[in-house]
Every structure is written in C-alpha cells, then in structure tokens.
Amino acid sequence: MQSRADSPGTDMDAALRTRAGVLLGDVLTWRLPTTAWERPAAAVEALGRAYAAGDALGVRAAVSRLEVLSPHRVERIADPADTPPPQPLEEQVTALVHLIGEPDRAPTAEAGPDDGRR
C-alpha cells in the first residue's frame, strides 16, 4: 500500500477534491456542439495531470477553467445537434471521479500505539 505522501492528490484539501469531483460529475451531463468539446477535454487532461502530480494549484486552475467552460454558466438555447461528452473524455472523467473520490487510506505500518493490537 502506498504511504500518504506517495499518493496522488494528498496535499489537496477535501474541499478542493470535492469541488473537482462534483464538477467532473457535472461534465458528464453537459451537452455541447461537437466542435466545442476540445477545450473541456484539455481542461480535464490538465486536471488529471495536476492531480497525479499532487499539484493543488494546477488542480485549482483546471477546475476554474472547467467552471468557466460550463454550458450552465450562461443560459444558451439548446441545439438538438449538441452532443454528450465524446466517449474517450467520458471514460477519462469517470476514472478521475473515482480516483479523486477515493478516501485516503493510511497504511497499517503507520498505525499508532493504540491501533487495537495487543
């Protein structure tokens, strides 16, 4: 098992992780013109890289970028040609939601003296 220091995203506070997870979940409900998915895909990619590197500032920046790109930010007329996220982006978002949402697990080697063993 990895130590907490070796786990991606462990220097990020719970609020940032929650904000990222909720926003990523929202991305799965977005409907955009096919040509408009490139920018959200780039922001999700940046978020994944920053999270894997434990870069809280990078995660904040990517989350902010996604928030600005949200179709819910501005009321727009729905177009029947709007599409859900492309499958590769949907898979990447789903994987990130699960990764970011995993509870931190402290390794058993770091258990304190009152860990229940006698």
The burial of 60, by beta-carbon neighbours within 10 Å (0-12 exposed, 13-18 middle, 19 or more buried), is given as: middle
Summarised one tens digit per residue, pLDDT across range 8-39 is 555 689 999 999 999 999 999 999 999 999 99
Q: How confident is the model at residue 73 (pLDDT cuts 50, 70, 90)?
A: confident
Q: What phi and psi values does residue 73 have, to the nearest 5 degrees?
A: -70, -35
| Rounded Cα–Cα distance for residues 93 and 87 (Å) | 10
Query: What pairs with residue 21 in β-bridges?
Result: none
Give me the chain's average pLDDT, please: 81
Residues 59-85 have a mean pLDDT of 87
pLDDT top residue among 90 and 108: 90
| Rounded Cα–Cα distance for residues 35 and 84 (Å) | 12
Q: Residue 32 in 3-state DSSP? A: strand
Summarised one tens digit per residue, pLDDT across range 42-63 is 999 999 999 999 999 999 999 9
Q: Residue 89: is its pLDDT beyond 50?
A: yes
* Of the candidates 38, 50, 44, 46, the residue with the CA atom closest to the CA atom of residue 97: 44
Contact 15, 63 (CB under 8 A): no
Reading the block at residue 103, the tokens are 């509870």
Q: Establish how many alpha carbons lie within 13 A of residue 105's alpha carbon, considering only the half-sphere containing its beta carbon.
A: 9
